């Protein structure tokens, strides 16, 4: 079983890119972020023709998350992260697919920091950690996949000081990610590639793609019930090189 996460950065604008990648990579489950489309604007017909069932939660202009399943219909569990009834941002969706519980996560960016947006990032992280802890107690095969907007260690960002004040690499951001892993989740890409950068994001500015000045922001975390089934993990760089590409590349795992 192949499971991928892909910040598509506007699903309708990048739809040709997404469909090409689906045909080439043939993932069984796909977690998408940054749909940048309302529920009604989700391109269900094109996704269906590509052979994928889907559940999604859209939002006008920003955010939006979805879960796709090849030759299957995801069973929707929830469309929001518990813990704050006033949070209307579409950043979390959870579904059951082929016996696995999958979450598509778009964690807040947090910039500029310090400030309210960074506070929101850390608060959201706390809610995710509490919910993830409850999921672990069920001892089910689960994947928390998505754009976490955190480069967890210095290995996850190219050598530079230009991001030193950015929310993506702040000590509190990294500590929050580390605290999540400490619950018992396995960082799939880093487990199988302990010494390689494995970048998944290259900013559009300053020729960062051409210079391979990337960051690893997209992660697939596996529950203890699922981690022993991990066979392969990687990032597909080819979609990032295409015309009109998202600034992210798909990250993926293969399970037995």
Determine the Cα–Cα distance for residues 220 and 148; give it in Å rounded to an integer: 10
pLDDT, tens digit (0-9, with 9 covering 90-100), for 93-111: 999 999 999 999 999 999 9
Q: Give the pLDDT confidence score for residue 39 in this predicted structure.
A: 98
The domain locations on the chain are 2-255
The secondary structure of 143-198 as a DSSP string is: EEEEE-----SGGGB-S-STTTTSGGG-HHHHHHHHHHHHTT-EEHHHHH-TTS--
Query: What's the pLDDT score for residue 23?
Result: 98
Q: How far is CA 127 from CA 32, 248, 251, in A?
A: 20, 25, 24
- List the 92-97 sheet strands across, edge first: 75-78, 92-97, 100-106, 142-147, 218-222, 186-187
- Give kind and range of the element (H or E) at residue 229: none
d(CA 34, CA 111): 16
The residues pairing with 234 across neighbouring beta strands, listed in sequence order, are 252
Of how many residues is the chain composed? 256
Per-residue confidence (pLDDT) for residue 26, from 0 to 100: 98
Is residue 239 helix, strand or coil?
A: helix
Strand, coil or helix: what is 107?
coil
Which token pair is 237? Answer: 């760089």
Q: Which fold would CATH assign to domain 2-255?
A: Deoxyribonuclease I; Chain A (3.60.10)
Residue 123 · residue 83 · CB < 8 Å: no
Distance of CA 105 to the CA centre of its chain: 5
Strand partners, 55: 67
Looking at the DSSP assignment, which residues form a beta bridge with residue 239?
none
- The per-residue pLDDT of the chain, averaged, comes to 98
User: pLDDT tens digits, residue range 173-219?
Assistant: 999 999 999 999 999 999 999 999 999 999 999 999 999 999 999 99
pLDDT value of position 14? 98
- Note the pLDDT of residue 197: 97
Q: What is the pLDDT of residues 135-182, one digit of tens each?
A: 999 999 999 999 999 999 999 999 999 999 999 999 999 999 999 999
CA 132/CA 134 separation, integer angstroms: 5
Beta bridge partners of 253: 3, 233
Q: How many Cα atoms sit within 13 Å of 162 on the Cβ side?
A: 11
Neighbours of 25 (CB within 10 A): 16
Cβ burial, residue 150 (10 Å; 0-12/13-18/19+): buried
Q: What is the largest CA-CA distance in the chain?
A: 46
Is pTM beyond 0.75 here? yes
């Amino acid at each position: 079983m192949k499971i991928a996460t892909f910040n598509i950065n506007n699903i309708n604008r990048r739809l040709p890119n997404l469909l090409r990648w689906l045909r080439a990579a043939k993932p069984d489950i796909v977690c998408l972020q940054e749909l940048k489309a309302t529920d009604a604007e989700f391109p269900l017909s094109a996704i269906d023709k590509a052979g994928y069932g889907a559940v999604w939660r859209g939002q006008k202009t920003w955010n939006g998350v979805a879960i796709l399943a090849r030759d299957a219909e995801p069973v929707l569990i929830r469309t929001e992260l518990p813990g704050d009834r006033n949070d209307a941002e579409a950043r979390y969706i959870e579904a059951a697919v082929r016996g696995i519980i999958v979450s598509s996560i778009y964690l807040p960016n947090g910039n500029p920091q310090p400030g309210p947006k960074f506070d929101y990032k850390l608060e959201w992280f706390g809610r995710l950690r509490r919910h993830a802890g409850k999921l672990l107690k069920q001892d089910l095969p689960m994947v928390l996949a998505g754009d976490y907007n955190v480069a967890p260690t210095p290995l996850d960002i190219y050598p530079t000081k230009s991001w030193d004040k950015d929310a993506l690499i702040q000590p509190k951001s990294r500590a929050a990610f580390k605290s999540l892993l400490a619950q018992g989740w396995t960082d799939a890409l880093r487990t199988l590639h302990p010494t390689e950068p494995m970048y998944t994001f290259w900013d559009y500015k300053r020729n960062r793609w051409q210079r391979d000045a990337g960051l690893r922001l997209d992660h697939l975390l596996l529950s203890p019930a699922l981690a022993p089934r991990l066979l392969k993990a990687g990032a597909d760089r080819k979609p990032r090189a295409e015309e009109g590409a998202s600034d992210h590349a798909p990250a993926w795992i293969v399970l037995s």
